[in-house]
Structure 1
Amino acid sequence: MKTLGVTGGIGSGKTTVCGFLEEQGARVFYADIEAKRLMQEDEAVQSAIVDEFGPTTYREDGSLDREYLAERVFGHPDRLDRLNAIVHPRVFEAFSAAEERAADEGIDLLVHEAALLFEAGGDAHVDVTAAVVAPDADRVARVAERDDVTPDQVRDRMGHQLPQEELRRRADHVIVNDGSLNELRQKSVDLYWTVLDA
């Protein structure tokens, strides 16, 4: 079994690529979804977050107050680092467990999809990496429509992520999402077989 890390900036199309990989038979581990689940359901993670950011991080009903937490860490790299130090190791533990299950079940390719693959050190946990990149104008338009936000808000989010040039430099494979959906599907299929045949 091979493992592939897939990343890309907001609006690049990385989730769509992962969907196409799933069509080919890959299993996808969505790191960002797992991180949210851990912060909501894992008692040890919750306790560490409360110790670090205070009891008001969680509402009375036990749900995570994401806006409050975002306000606490946004613009404070040291606080964000402390939050990531709580969550990311547990995400990697969950990926290791997913890897064991996938191997036992005969899956050929397990994909680790993460917006912060390189920043979090996730590339060290996979055999090979791929970055999905797209023209900035396409990304802005896509996210503005999807999330009902202004183009400036999208550009602000983009400014807090690794530049696409850096993703291109670090990744083993690059998928350029600058054409039709069918073209992106074909590039994803090509990536699937390239990784398996390597």
Structure 2
Amino acid sequence: MLKIGITGGIGVGKTVVCRLFQLLGIPVYDADTRAKWVMHHNQILKKELTEAFGADAYNKAGELNRTYLAGVVFNNPERLAQLNGLVHPRVGEDFTDWLKAHAGAPYIIKEAALMYESESWRQMDQIITVYAPMDVRIKRLLQRDPHRTEADIRAIIGKQLKEEEKMKRADYVIYNDDKQLLIPQVLTLHEKFLAQSSAATAGA
């Protein structure tokens, strides 16, 4: 099965792009959403996180204390690496199970903000980076999350892999800059991936 990764920094519009692929009938694995689910439901991971970050990692109801964890790791690269080192392997296991459930699809998409940072790009056959300029991203995020300030947003963006680097590493770039139409870009790639999948099946 052809595996396509979609990545890009906060505010570029990865989710909108993935919804378009879903409308075309393509299964999409949202790594960020699944990571939250795994952190809530994987008992082994919950034990590991509690041991690593203390009892405050979960509240009395057994729910993940995201605010606490975010505060611990935000300005601490070592603790962030420790968190990712625990979470990413469990999400990888979840993705493997998900792949089995969608084995009949011509291709699948995995959406992940930390595609490169988590090394999950190595599992993909091709990578799409969604790009939007900084001013557009900030405008979108201020509208989406009015409790955040521009300084907050710039701080988050500053901790992510630079967009230029993501674009350089990608096989394809989708421009979601409010100037170029998204649907034609997605349709072009969809047809390309279908053709690649058909050719692979024929050659098998």
Give TM class, smaller chain.
over 0.9
| Alignment size in residue pairs | 195
| Structure 1 residue runs without a partner (length 5+) | none
> 1: distance between equivalents of 2:99 and 2:160?
27
Q: What TM-score do you get using the length of structure 1 for normalisation?
A: 0.94
SS at match of 1:174: strand
RMSD of aligned residue pairs (Cα, Å): 1.2
> 2: distance between equivalents of 1:97 and 1:58?
26
Q: Which amino acid aligns with 1:68?
A: Y
> 2: distance between equivalents of 1:90 and 1:194?
31
SS at match of 1:130: strand
Counterpart for residue 93 of structure 1: 93
Counterpart for residue 56 of structure 1: 56
| Structure 2 residue runs without a partner (length 5+) | 197-204
1:195 Cα shift?
2.4
Q: What TM-score do you get using the length of structure 2 for normalisation?
A: 0.92
Counterpart for residue 134 of structure 1: 132
1:180 Cα shift?
5.4
Asked if 1:4 corresponds to 2:4, the answer is yes
SS at match of 2:102: helix
Counterpart for residue 151 of structure 1: 150
Deviates more, 1:117-126 or 1:149-158: 149-158
Could you give the per-residue CA deviations for residues 59-111 of structure 1, whole angstroms, max 9, x where no partner exists?
111111111111111111111111111110111111111111111xx211211
- Contact 1:131–1:171 under 8 Å retained in 2: yes
Identical counterparts, % of pairs: 38
1:196 Cα shift?
2.7
Counterpart for residue 80 of structure 1: 80
Q: Which amino acid aligns with 2:50?
A: V
SS at match of 1:131: strand
